[in-house]
Structure 1
Amino acid sequence: MLLSSLWKASFLAAALPFASAERVVSSTSLNPCLANSGFSASLFMVALTPNNRTLSFDIEGVSTISGKVNAEIELIVYGYSALTQELDPCDAENKDLISLCPMTASTIKLKSNLNDISPEIMSKIPGIAYTVPDLDATVRIRIRNATSNDVIACVEAEMSNSHSVDQKAVAWITAVIAGLGLVASAITSGLGHSNTAAHVAANAMSLFGYFQAQAFIGMTAVPLPPIVAAWTQNFQWSMGIIHVTFLQKMATWYQRATGGTPTTYLSTLSNMSIDVQKVKRGLEMPVRHLNRLMGRSNAATTDLQESSRVVLHGIDRVGFKANIETTNIFFTGYAFFIIFIVLVVILVIAFKFMLEGLVKAGKMKSDKFVDFRNGWQTVLKGIMFRVILIGFPQMMVLCLWELTQRDSAGEVVLAIFTLVSMISILGWAASKVIRIAQRSITMHKNPAYILYSDPVALNKWGFLYVQFKAAAYYFIGPVLLHMLVKAMFVGLAQKNGTVQAVALVLIEAGLLIAVAVLVPYMDKKTNGFNIAIAAVNFLSSIFLLMFTEVFNQPGIVTGVMGVVFFIYNAVFALVLLLMVLVSSGFALFTKNPDTRYQPMRDDRGSFIKSQTQLTTELDALGATARGEGKGTQPYNQSRSGLEDDDSMSQTSVEHQRQLAAKEGHYSEHYQPAPPRSPGFANQAQGQVPSGPPSYYGRSSPAPSGRAGSLRNEQNFRAANNSSPWQRGAGYDH
């Protein structure tokens, strides 16, 4: 009875609903492990319940074997062969298998519930089979000819229990904390704490990038250990792979309306075997994947007719595990990206009108969020660019993958349009930042000069460079290139997991070396944060390469590495989440959160116009550098060239510098002009300013809110001959 039960338990393929408190070991598919195997199953469902010692199974298959056979059953747990047993169907002890002695070439249908399995049999099953999440266990059966002892069929069943590390709570917690970091940075920026906002935003963006890197690993075509596949599934929300019923109906409708044919894998689980690709361990043949040479929309029906078993890998596997039809994956990710953009726009506009209402009602001081209230349209543009940057990896991999799948003509058009537009937008933005920085270096010998002194440039393009030190403004180029190349291999190389793994090792190694050598981020803590992420991503890519089994390591090595992968990534993710959560809490609930961070060495704080309480000579000089000194003209955005695409030539730049020096705009030592109080023009006419100062659309006020004088400024300079701002700008005196 033991051998009979084990043999039948290995033939099963669909999951049965179980209570979470009940211990159950079940199988969801029966996979061939031999070329031209003499047995195949179209339906295979089995479950072993130890509490009541029952085994239920439902098997439908086709056998091409005739004659007497023997069977060999092997139980493999985490790559280790835990049990091997010979089975003779003609043995009198195996009454349940007497119909298979001898076997005949025909259709086989077996459906039964075996009750009161002996305790001796149940004791042979290890306890970890019921408790360890994402059990990596396989029952493999080889059928041999009783006369020649040749293997004529080989099948295996992947066993699982009801425990998994793929939990919706994990996905929600990671998403909420990452979003909280971005919201906290936006609020602190509006309150004038630019240093804190830059740090929190940089860490939140890096955390989001780490989540997307984990999702990328799950999207590769590499056969992953069950625990790795389940862990990476927690982060597929960052790719927009989220199941929503009405959205799935919309995706199916859109695909049909634009000439596509949707797959029906989820609705046919009761009569066909769907298998998600898992680790290969010394199989007699590699598992053959579903043929994708033709467009999926055209080949789906043919595939289902020709084969009752479908093996899903890579992005298809991710979508299926998320309860999304494979032909709806692209549209789902695209729809969530558009929804995210629209939601952000609505929230920003609502926040602006809420602030205005609070000020008018006297519930909030008029000097709060003044920069945002007066320049909210420019801020909104910058937020939109940041959203595009967040969604760049997601849409690149999905769009490139869609070009290989061709679900429908309409979806291909969406993919091409999105691909071209996002690359163009971010490419233009990155080139704009580089041009602005180079102009600043040419005119002022400091890239931070214009990058941080102009509020429009800072709010619109700052998302690309505030996380880096001023001298490393160009590093956004390598970062975008890293994202694009990585998405290309994940999206376009779905037929070859080994190519993807090797490519990711090289790509992640390149980024790690660049970050560790150039240390481009704003300070030591941020550099350490990002170097750690790059190092973990590189280590994960090495594990991914091991999962391909190109080194032919023992199966137990791969099984153990899968558990190790989960452990160190879970610990690292927890540490990152706590760091971002703590920094966000300090940013939101501390009166002056900037005290937690040291000033940037690139003197960006002296150039940012939103700071109205600066008192040092460095800040006064920064005001002069922005064109706020005596004899200067009001700040004009079109004159600055930051919005125009025109670039100043070296000759015109030098001419303007000489002209400015002659007119007294600045001397060799950048002699500052007397600062002006906000509303200076109105006060000269005996009028009182009606509201807080705005830095959009007019000349900026002095950096100090107190009434100053030229005499005080000159006395301060006399006592402090050495100007740190001059040194930061490249002037040596």
Structure 2
Amino acid sequence: MLVRLVPLLTLLTVLPFSSAATDGALFTSSVTYCEPPETLLIQQFDVKYFSANQSIFFDISAASVQANVNVSANILVNVYGLTLLNVTIDLCDILAGALCPLPQYNFVGSQSISLPDSLGVTNRIPAIAFRIPDLEAYAQLTLLEVGTGDIKACVQATLSNGWSTRQAAVQWATGALALFALLAAAWQSTRPNAVVPYRLLDLLHFYQTIAATGLLSLNYPSLYRAFAINFAWALGLISSTNSRLQTSIDNMRALTGGDMANASSGSAVGFVDRRLSPWNAVNLELPASSFAQSLLADTSVGAARTNITFSRIALNGIQQLATTEGQVQTVTDDSSNVLQAGIPIYVNSIHIATANAFMTTFLISLIIVAIALAVAGLAYGALFAANRFGWGTEETRQRLKSSYPAHMRAWALRLGLIVHPPLTIFAFYQWSLKDSWLSVLLSVIAFLAIWLSVLYPVFLTLRLVRRESRDALEFNPEHLASHGPLYAQYRTPRYYFFLPLLIGVFIKAIVIAAGEGSGMAQVVVFLIVELAVVIAHIVLKPYNSRGGDVFSTYLAIVRLVCTGAMIAFVESVGVAAIPRVAIGAVITVIFSIAVLILAINVFLHSGITWLWRHRRSPSRQGSADESMLEKGDANPIDGTADDTSRYSATPSMLSRTIGASTPHHDTAASRRVSISSTTHH
């Protein structure tokens, strides 16, 4: 019976690993046809191997639909590009010819089978196979017609152990950190020397950097691609299986000329180009193996596999069932549903269709803007109520009322600086797809709007410097309060440092969208941009505090090192799968450590430590703050060093500023300290 091939296939799938394991499981994570099906039609194929009791559970629904077909079966298992098993068995030589020719009926069955100790499966599976994240392994069954060698069926199943660097906990933790930084920044943004408003931008831009490194046309190890997807939300790529948002976008595209495929509700792994991870496929010969034939003839296994229930269905019903939506798909090198490296694999892995990437980011950005407007409206309502009912002192009410417009403009600029990288990337990418005219139109509008919100403050800042002088940036309170997020963190002579950063984002966006299919060119351009940024940090030392220079340079070096290591992911370089995975793991660790350091830095400058010290000893803390203020040593709100520490700080003071960002001054008076200190150097 053809159904008897199922436990044999799953057994051969798990045999090739060598060593001992005491726990864990391996199971199929995706199933696809690797050739258009002619003889064998599969509706469902799920397999699990449990090492604790050496058993296999499978659930299959399949059918043989051609009469008088004699085939041989080739079974191939590939792990990290290594062919650990490649055997061919003539089905007419086993099971007393029961599978020659193939029986013609449908079978549906599920069974748990205990494997005999005589097979030695435990000694053939290494413990690491059950623990390494994002295992890159697959099994392939090919039925070849005897005599002609024609392929009658080809099925591929990727294997997983359940471990992955993609974790919902990581996504929630990074999102919570961003929310904490946002609330702290909102609290401190009107205070002199505030660090967190700039750390908020650093944090989100770093998240976006990690996510964007997964958008290049590279052969990423599955481990690193899964890690980068943890930060997809920072690019506005938020989705889930059967998302209503994605369904609405699909409908919109269908009504406006879009003809590209929608996302699959299942795993996108099965649609990945076979040259890429987790497939790592190469052209292989099909040798025979006496070991496989002896294994198939094992009587104990034969006894175990007879306890399978199956049912027969009319052939017309089988053929109709196999063509309905949601069935096993055919994925070949020539098929149109293959996901190429870069944005297609990345976004489809989170159930976002390739053509939906821009619209998803666009709609998420609109939601963020709507929330920001609502908060701004509530703040204005609170000010109005305070004036109407006389809450607080007259001086405080007037001060808040006069500073409200500039404060809102500053936050609008921050919002523009946060959302412009993803919108730029996916707007350019949408133009390359030419899918839906409405998506293209909205991408043009969004691109112009977001860059106008950023470039207009840039224009006003440069114009102010040209008409007056650089010092005008410090002594114009309204301009500083409104457009300070661009330059207030930098020393006055280096006020322009925001320009190379904006240019770098623009270049990267073009390279990601226009360089699809040219992984080496993308990496080289990214490497040049990151190297230029590192050199600029080292040469210009743009920040007001030495700690700001050290911390920002560290992040720039992290980006440079990780980008350089990604050369190993370029297909043409030909790095083997295992070294590629090792390099991906190293990059993951480097990025993770940087995120942890960012989190610590945000916490230390959020003001929480000051509140904690104040609660422990209000009187002593107050005197300490007064002493530090007299010396110009620290900000009582967040404990960060004043600008003068860059030039006059003692070693002990410098030790307290390591990791500190540039203070933010919202008034010209508070900036004059920095100006006076820089004129002497």
TM-score range, shorter chain: 0.7 to 0.9
Task: Report the counterpart of residue 86 of structure 1 in structure 2.
Answer: 87
Task: Report the counterpart of residue 647 of structure 1 in structure 2.
Answer: none
Matched to 2:58, the amino acid is S
Change (3 A) 1:280 1:115: closer
Larger relative contact order (C-alpha < 8 A, sep ≥ 6)?
2
Matched to 1:247, the amino acid is L
Task: Report the counterpart of residue 283 of structure 1 in structure 2.
Answer: 282
Q: Which runs of 5+ in 1 are unaligned?
A: 13-20, 286-300, 442-446, 623-723
Change (3 A) 1:280 1:436: farther
Q: Distance in 1 between matches of 2:438 and 2:360?
A: 14
Aligned match for 2:376, one of 345, 348, 362? 348
Structure 1 residue 478, shift from structure 2 partner: 0.8
Q: Deviations over 1:3-57 (max 9, x none)?
A: 9746357899xxxxxxxx984422303475x9x9999987663321415612325
Structure 1 residue 233, shift from structure 2 partner: 0.7
Task: Report the counterpart of residue 25 of structure 1 in structure 2.
Answer: 27
Q: Does 1:609 align with 2:667?
A: yes
Change (3 A) 1:424 1:606: closer
What does 1:183-582 correspond to in 2, within 5 Å?
183-190=183-190, 193-195=191-193, 197=194, 199-243=195-239, 245-261=243-259, 263-267=261-265, 269=266, 274-275=271-272, 278-279=277-278, 281=280, 283-284=282-283, 307=335, 310-311=338-339, 313-354=341-382, 357=385, 371-441=399-469, 447=470, 449-582=471-604
Q: Does 1:74 align with 2:77?
A: yes
TM-score, normalisation: structure 2: 0.73
Contact 1:505 1:541 in 2 (8 A): yes
Q: Distance in 2 between matches of 1:271 and 1:596?
A: 47
For these two proteins, the number of residue pairs brought into alignment is 581
**Match of 1:597, SS?**
coil
**Match of 2:45, SS?**
strand
Q: Distance in 1 between matches of 2:269 and 2:592?
A: 35
RMSD: 4.5
Structure 1 residue 523, shift from structure 2 partner: 2.0
Q: Distance in 2 between matches of 1:483 and 1:125?
A: 46
Matched to 2:553, the amino acid is I
Q: Distance in 2 between matches of 1:246 and 1:314?
A: 25
Matched to 1:316, the amino acid is P
Q: Distance in 1 between matches of 2:598 and 2:97?
A: 55
Task: Report the counterpart of residue 138 of structure 1 in structure 2.
Answer: 138
Matched to 1:200, the amino acid is V
Change (3 A) 1:395 1:42: farther
Matched to 1:517, the amino acid is V
Matched to 2:434, the amino acid is R
Structure 1 residue 238, shift from structure 2 partner: 0.8
Change (3 A) 1:309 1:341: closer
Change (3 A) 1:333 1:249: same
Change (3 A) 1:361 1:504: same
Task: Report the counterpart of residue 19 of structure 2 in structure 1.
Answer: none
Task: Report the counterpart of residue 704 of structure 1 in structure 2.
Answer: none
TM-score, normalisation: structure 1: 0.68
Structure 1 residue 555, shift from structure 2 partner: 2.4
Matched to 2:586, the amino acid is V
Change (3 A) 1:606 1:494: closer
Task: Report the counterpart of residue 163 of structure 1 in structure 2.
Answer: 163
Contact 2:72 2:143 in 1 (8 A): yes
Q: Deviations over 1:475-519 (max 9, x none)?
A: 211111100110111122333334323332232222222223222
Identity %: 21
**Match of 2:573, SS?**
coil
Q: Does 1:118 align with 2:116?
A: yes
Task: Report the counterpart of residue 597 of structure 1 in structure 2.
Answer: 641
Q: Distance in 2 between matches of 1:107 and 1:471?
A: 81
Matched to 2:137, the amino acid is A
Q: Distance in 1 between matches of 2:463 and 2:647?
A: 18
**Match of 2:29, SS?**
strand
Matched to 1:331, the amino acid is M
Larger Rg: 1
**Match of 1:84, SS?**
strand
Q: Distance in 1 between matches of 2:667 and 2:540?
A: 29
Structure 1 residue 330, shift from structure 2 partner: 1.8
**Match of 1:88, SS?**
strand
Contact 2:33 2:156 in 1 (8 A): yes
Structure 1 residue 340, shift from structure 2 partner: 0.8
Change (3 A) 1:423 1:605: closer
Structure 1 residue 215, shift from structure 2 partner: 0.7
Q: Distance in 2 between matches of 1:496 and 1:279?
A: 20
Q: Distance in 2 between matches of 1:44 and 1:169?
A: 30
Task: Report the counterpart of residue 127 of structure 2 in structure 1.
Answer: 127
Matched to 1:25, the amino acid is F
Task: Report the counterpart of residue 656 of structure 2 in structure 1.
Answer: none
Q: Deviations over 1:158-185 (max 9, x none)?
A: 2113232222222222123223323323
Task: Report the counterpart of residue 662 of structure 1 in structure 2.
Answer: none
**Match of 2:605, SS?**
helix
Change (3 A) 1:8 1:462: same
Contact 1:454 1:608 in 2 (8 A): no
Q: Deviations over 1:222-259 (max 9, x none)?
A: 23212111111110111111127443343234334434
Change (3 A) 1:437 1:302: farther
Contact 1:30 1:41 in 2 (8 A): no
Structure 1 residue 284, shift from structure 2 partner: 2.2
Q: Which runs of 5+ in 2 are unaligned?
A: 15-22, 285-328, 615-635, 649-661
Q: Distance in 2 between matches of 1:62 and 1:414?
A: 49
Matched to 1:284, the amino acid is N
Change (3 A) 1:29 1:91: same
Change (3 A) 1:525 1:430: same
Q: Distance in 2 between matches of 1:141 and 1:435?
A: 68
